């Protein structure tokens, strides 16, 4: 694995026959790449991010679309819950049964194509109108929430395109423990779970994290991104209380409305306060909904700081 996930593409050794290389590409990379032709390309969804770089949502989508429209992958796995994904899928498909396109959705899809649907914790694969496989994702600890079920569906689509069997993929999903800083469960102390989703650097990513757990002590805040914070107002039903960090924590807290919250400023204070008030069965969740650059070099450092403060709780 390489790319935006942490290791530079050019640091990889030259590929060998039979090897699979997985690249997570940012819109910056697809925007600048002039020769990139993947065997399989994946588009999960589109939410506001990097708008200052791309001049708005249209430019942001155009940068991601280049991987498919100009890259010419042999097979495309595309989330079609969003209009941008549906547009992209319609552009690429040459007919209802075009096997080069694998559609991923959270609802049943019409047509006789190759579809993977996740609904109420179940993954279902359909080909030519017939169910090919079904997997229960609810017991996979490393994949909490509907957004991670979509991620699993996309990974399933890639693995199926590579020729792996549904049973083998299901077994592998149960070994997945989550990625660092992405809904990463790092500890359970006194019946309280601690989850690091520092990668939730925009509002949409934070909303998905907030929907994955029932009762949340939410650590949030940082450098706000273009696109606004309004969408947060309807996504905090699971939040018991918010603990706001960042240099402009007081300003960020204004977006929280009537939600109980506390301006903490730094991670040390936020973790300590959340831990002292959390009750068994609750989750202390770091999902900042903002960039990290006001206090950290990157989101990884922010997540590592959260994990370090939680480790101190365990030591105590």
Q: What is the 3-state secondary structure (H, E, C) of 142-174?
A: CCCCHHHHHHHHHHHHHHHHCCCCHHHHHHHHC
Contact 68, 84 (CB under 8 A): no
Q: In the block, which residue shows the tokens 């169910």?
A: 131
Q: What is the pTM for the complete model shown?
A: 0.80
Domain count, the chain: 2
Predicted confidence (pLDDT) per residue in 282-315, tens digit: 999 999 999 999 999 999 999 999 999 999 997 7
CA distance linking residue 310 with residue 271, whole number of Å: 7
What does each C-alpha distance from 15 to 5, 8, 90 come to in angstroms?
18, 14, 32
179 belongs to a structural domain: no
Q: Check residue 300 and give its pLDDT.
A: 94
190 belongs to a structural domain: yes
- Is the pLDDT score of 28 beyond 90? no
Cβ neighbors of 187 (< 8 A, separation 6 or more) are 193, 194, 310, 311, 313, 314
Residue 22 sits in the same domain as residue 53: yes
From the list 141, 184, 155, 136, the residue with the least C-alpha distance to 286 is 184
- Is the pLDDT score of 18 beyond 60? yes
Residue 208 sits in the same domain as residue 302: yes
- Split at pLDDT 50, 70, 90, the class of 8 is confident
224 belongs to a structural domain: yes
**Structural domain harbouring 252:** 184-315
Predicted confidence (pLDDT) per residue in 231-257, tens digit: 787 789 999 999 999 999 999 999 999
- CATH number of domain containing 219: 3.90.190.20
- Is the pLDDT score of 316 beyond 70? no
289 belongs to a structural domain: yes
Which of 173, 196, 224 is at the close of a domain? 173
CB atoms within 10 A of CB 271: 26
């Amino acid at each position: 694995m390489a790319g935006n996930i942490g290791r530079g593409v050019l640091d990889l050794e030259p590929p060998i026959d039979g090897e699979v290389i997985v690249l997570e590409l940012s819109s910056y990379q697809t925007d600048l790449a002039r020769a990139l032709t993947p065997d399989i390309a994946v588009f999960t969804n589109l939410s506001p991010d990097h708008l200052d770089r791309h001049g708005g949502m249209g430019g942001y989508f155009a940068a991601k679309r280049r991987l498919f429209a100009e890259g010419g992958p042999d097979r495309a796995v595309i989330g079609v819950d969003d209009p941008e994904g549906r547009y992209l899928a319609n552009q690429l498909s040459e007919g209802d049964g075009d096997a080069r396109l694998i559609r991923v959705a959270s609802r049943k899809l019409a047509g006789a194509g190759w579809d993977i649907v996740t609904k109420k914790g179940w993954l279902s694969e359909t080909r030519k109108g017939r169910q090919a496989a079904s997997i229960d994702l609810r017991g996979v600890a490393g994949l909490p929430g509907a957004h991670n079920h979509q991620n699993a569906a996309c990974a399933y689509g890639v693995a199926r395109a590579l020729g792996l069997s549904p049973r083998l993929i299901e077994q592998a999903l149960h070994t997945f423990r989550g990625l660092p800083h992405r809904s990463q469960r790092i500890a359970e102390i006194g019946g309280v779970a601690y989850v690091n989703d520092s990668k939730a650097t925009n509002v949409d990513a934070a909303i998905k994290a907030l929907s994955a757990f029932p009762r949340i002590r939410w650590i949030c805040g940082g450098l706000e991104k273009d696109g606004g914070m309004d969408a947060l107002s309807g996504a905090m039903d699971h939040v018991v209380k918010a603990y706001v960090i960042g240099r402009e924590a007081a300003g960020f807290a204004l977006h929280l409305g009537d939600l109980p919250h506390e301006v903490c400023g730094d991670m040390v204070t936020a973790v300590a306060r959340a831990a002292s008030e959390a009750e068994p069965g609750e989750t202390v969740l770091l999902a900042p909904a903002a960039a990290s650059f006001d206090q950290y070099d990157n989101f990884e450092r922010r997540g590592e700081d959260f994990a370090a403060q939680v480790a101190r709780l365990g030591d105590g």
